[in-house]
Amino acid sequence: MKIFSAFGSKDDITDVPGLKVGHSTDFSGVTGCTAILCEQGSIAAVDVRGGAPATHEFGALASPSLVQRCHAILFTGGSAFGLEAASGVTRFLSENDIGFQTRIRPVPIVPAAAIFDLAIGSADCYPSVIQGYEAAQVATNDLVEQGCVGAGTGATIAKLAGAERCLKGGLGSSSLIGPEGVIVGCLAVTNAIGSIYEPLSGEVIAAPRGEAGRFLSIEESLALHTATVEASRQNTTLICVATNASLSHSQLQRLTIHAHDGLSRSIFPVHTAADGDIAFALSTEEKELEEKHLLTLAVMTTLVVERAIVKSVKQAKTVEDIPSVDDWLSTRT
């Protein structure tokens, strides 16, 4: 008997009804942002595990807060500079009368989180209000473009042995269909210091570059790490998990914990003091779920995160002098 009947029809987060995704990409500056729209106002939770996050509007999603809902989530490059792009998403939603209803006018709630990508492309380029607006404006429920696009444009991975040995990261998305028609989707931006693994097989997908298309081991990387501490300050993996299951805020908060399990199974090391690793969870509240299926939902959450992380790396392309995994492996003699 199959518990998970299939990947979603698109195998990405837009398989969850009511969600849209849009990118704004600056290929010359090697940065960008990605907006995930939930225009009806999804209940939302967030869990920060990294020690160096760059964030905006997280208080609205906290357990004691009045709202606990959002109308979009923005992932952006540019470190803290790029957080201004969230105002562009807010402006777009406001122009379309989308937001938390008040007596005066709707107020859009747009939490945002940023990755550090200033070391690639131009350090003076980062997503602005204009790019945030553009990402929201082009958002659709079609297939999500993945790889070096949107917030994944300047993402890099495998920096434990120094930035000079890193590989290209990117943006990935996945989905699973479970019992009673419940869907879980994930969108991830992988900008990690750690190596990337295929959890089911243990295969090393990406690690710091060694010689001629080979990867360094964790031990070899740590031996080099002490001379390259600066590279450990430029990392963050962002994940957004979404489901059509109707969940309470506390149940959704639990999903963010299981989302981080997916990070821990596919990236090592992860959640370091110099990372900004963050997991969001959204519920569009369309389907009631029997309590006995909550554990299945948790497992699905972990699995879609793992798959999105792996896809984000496998679909990335070489940018400037930072090779993709495929291009690096092709140099092996």
pLDDT at 230: 53
Higher confidence at residue 224 or residue 241? 241
Between the CA of residue 283 and those of 45, 71, 73, 318, 329, what are the distances in Å? 9, 11, 13, 35, 39
DSSP state at residue 276: -
Tell me how far apart the alpha carbons of residues 294 and 258 are, in angstroms, rounded to a whole number.
12
Between the CA of residue 74 and those of 24, 127, 131, 326, what are the distances in Å? 11, 11, 11, 29
CA angle 217/221/223 to nearest 5° reads 120
- Closest-CA residue to 244 (of 279, 280, 288): 288
Cβ contact 77:31 at 8 Å: yes
pLDDT confidence tier of residue 332, bands split at 50, 70 and 90: confident
- Closest-CA residue to 163 (of 192, 134, 137, 135): 192
Above 80 in pLDDT, residue 104?
Answer: yes
| Amino acid in the structure at residue 50 | G
Across the chain, mean pLDDT equals 92
CATH fold of the domain at 6-329: L-amino peptidase D-ALA esterase/amidase (3.60.70)
| Amino acid in the structure at residue 308 | A
Q: Does pTM top 0.85 for this prediction?
A: yes
Q: Where are the domains of the chain?
A: 6-329
Q: What is the pLDDT of residues 227-250, one digit of tens each?
A: 555 555 678 999 999 999 999 999
Between the CA of residue 163 and those of 106, 119, 124, what are the distances in Å? 44, 9, 19
**Alpha helices (H) in 194-319, listed in sequence order:** 218-225, 249-266, 294-314
Q: What is the pLDDT of residues 45-93, one digit of tens each?
A: 999 987 778 899 988 887 777 678 999 999 999 999 999 999 999 999 9
**Alpha helices (H) in 195-248, listed in sequence order:** 218-225
